[in-house]
Structure 1
Amino acid sequence: MTTFNAQQYKSTTRAQWEDAAEAWDRWGPFIENWLGQATRRMLDAAGITTGSRVLDVAAGAGGQSVAAARRAGPSGHVLATDISPAILKYAAKAAADAGIATIATRELDGEHLDVTPDGYDAVISRVGLIYFPDQQAALAGMRAALRPGGKLSAVVYSTADRNGFFSIPVGIIRRRAQLPPPAPGQPGPFSLGTPGVAEQVLATAGFKEVTVETVPSPVRMRGADDCVRFERESFGALHQMMSGLSEAEREDTWTEIGQALAQFEDPEGFVGPCEMLVVSGVR
């Protein structure tokens, strides 16, 4: 049995996002539409309003950073952080393209948030917390960054059975690459999805008034082929899972994924099952 190596995992994750940064940015308009409702719920739960100082952890290409900055207005401030410097360049460009001067970017490991203690009114993280090997370390840093009474809100996936657009490809790859399922406590897309888990994790980290809101977030595209292209271009973790397969085996795997995802097509297009949770707490 292979022992999970957290440092190697983080190095690999950084490399994945360095490679996928351009594609994630290119798919940005689709991503903002897909995750728009969950993002709005996250910003609501974080209490972001005029003048708010916001820390965005695992900010990626910055779509939610821009949304937060618009709420905070010219008197507010957003610090967008990520482990990948390449993707932060796209976050900075997104801010510039939107004409927003109140967003700064900084390369930071989410488990080691070297930011001003008590310096933020809100901390947000969209589809990032689930991938930290040490979620308690990440949450401790987020809590320390918040002023007393400040709020954390994060978007995470619910359970695998509610997220077929993603869990089906993961299952196919695991079978073909003969990979074991992740052990309890290991990072992964569905690591906080089981009922009660997110609440316990935030409470353990010292957050109060913890809430979890379910947000249906179906993946709507023209067809299953588009979903395969989206995941193939921008989901670096899937490529890492296939690293032990030959090129021909990888192509066969993507073909099988496309065939499996076709079950979500109808005459009007593709609707992939996806359900997000907005998990929130107060310092």
Structure 2
Amino acid sequence: MEQQLEQIREQQKESWNRFSSGWKKWDDLVMDFLEPMGHEIIRKIYPQNTDVVLDIAAGTGEPGLTIASMLKGGKVVITDLSEDMLAIAREKAEERGIKNIETRACDVCELPFPDNTFDAISCRFGFMFFPDMELAAKEMVRVLKPGGKIATSVWSAPEKNFWVTAIMGTINKNMDLPAPPPGAPGMFRCAKEDLITDLFLRAGLKNISQREITGQLNAKTTDGYWNMMLDIGAPIVAALSKADDAMKEKIKKEVFEIVNQKFPDGNVIIDSSALVIYGEK
């Protein structure tokens, strides 16, 4: 099993590094889309001036950078599997004049920090992709100080996230792709009611709560939506790589049809839904 987890981790690292340029290209749009979930995470962990905060699976740096900008005397350690994503986070910190951060490329299942290091932990949309969620949660709790706070977000049900299903649903309808094994990393792996709250409970957290947070992907046009998803969506590109040109064109045509049908005025602003789960050590 360890070898399998290692293999998944290396594949993920390679994939996030490869797609980092797409994330940089669409950063403003994507960060605006994910901001409501980041705000709720920040509201729940309520960082204080001198806190030392860990932001896990931060990608291009949020919500860690926003948290760092709130602290007077504290700092944020921003982590991700992908060094190329963290390089973008450092660029953004420099542009915004944020100096109280450090970045660390590492695996959440093997956090390189001593026990009881951090006052708070944020993790926006990471759990769905962790090869071993139980181990990840235990590691987070290990490095969290007694009384420390943790908040994470995961995507909720597919039917509330058309921004994903418009493309992936069309791909699955047209292509005979092998079903992923039960519990495999994926967008809606954590959508099941109470899955993360139960995980937090088993990891030893208390005062656990869960709240649904909605957002909007302002893609503006169907073309913009399609191009963005192909630039940042590793599973989408992986699936389409198995299709010939005719099938790719058919899928694109059908995606455009269902998106245009949903937004006949051409203003493509797609609702989303996520769960923010909170706990204390």
Structure 2 distance, partners of 1:42, 1:258, is 34
Q: Which runs of 5+ in 2 are unaligned?
A: none
Question: What TM-score, normalized by structure 2, do the two folds share?
Answer: 0.93
Q: For residue 212 of structure 1, give the secondary structure of its aligned residue in structure 2.
A: strand
Paired residue for 1:64? 63
Provide structure 1 residue ranges, at least 5 long, that are not aligned to the other structure.
none
* 2:206 alignment partner AA: K
Q: Which residue of 93, 100, 103 maps to 1:102?
A: 100
What is the CA-CA distance between 1:247 and the residue it aligns to?
A: 4.3
- Which residue pairs with 2:50 in the alignment? 51
Residue type at the aligned position of 1:160? P
CA deviations on 1:36-91 (whole Å, 9 max, x unpaired) are 12111101112212111111111100131111101223x11111111111111001
User: Distance between the aligned counterparts of 1:81 and 1:251, measured in 2?
Assistant: 38
Is the alpha carbon distance of 1:145 and 1:251 closer, same or farther for their aligned partners in structure 2, counting shifts above 3 Å?
farther
- Provide the TM-score with structure 1 as the length reference: 0.92
Match of 2:88 in 1: 90
Matching residue of 1:19:
18
Aligned to 1:276: 274
Mapping for residues 103-252 of structure 1, pairs under 5 Å: 103-252=101-250
Alpha-carbon RMSD across the aligned residues, in angstroms, is: 1.8
Q: Distance in 1 between the 2:251 and 2:222 partners?
A: 15
Q: How far does residue 261 in structure 1 lie from its aligned partner after superposition?
A: 2.3
Counterpart contact for 2:68–2:76, Cα < 8 Å:
yes
SS in 2 for 1:273: strand
Aligned-residue identity in percent = 24
> Number of matched residues?
279
Offset of 1:273 from its aligned partner? 2.7
Q: Distance in 1 between matches of 2:168 and 2:5?
A: 20
Distance 1:242 1:109 in 2: 28
The 1:254/1:10 distance shift into structure 2, 3 A limit, reads farther
Say whether the 8 Å CA contact 2:222–2:266 is kept in structure 1. no
In the alignment, the residues of structure 1 paired with residue 8 and residue 63 of structure 2 have an alpha-carbon distance, to the nearest angstrom, of: 25
CA-to-aligned-CA distance 1:108-164 (integer Å, 9 cap, x gap): 012211112211011111111111120011111111110001111111111111101
Contact 1:264 1:272 in 2 (8 A): no
Distance 1:30 1:248, change over 3 A: same
Could you tell me how far apart the structure 2 residues matched to 1:123 and 1:243 are? Answer: 36
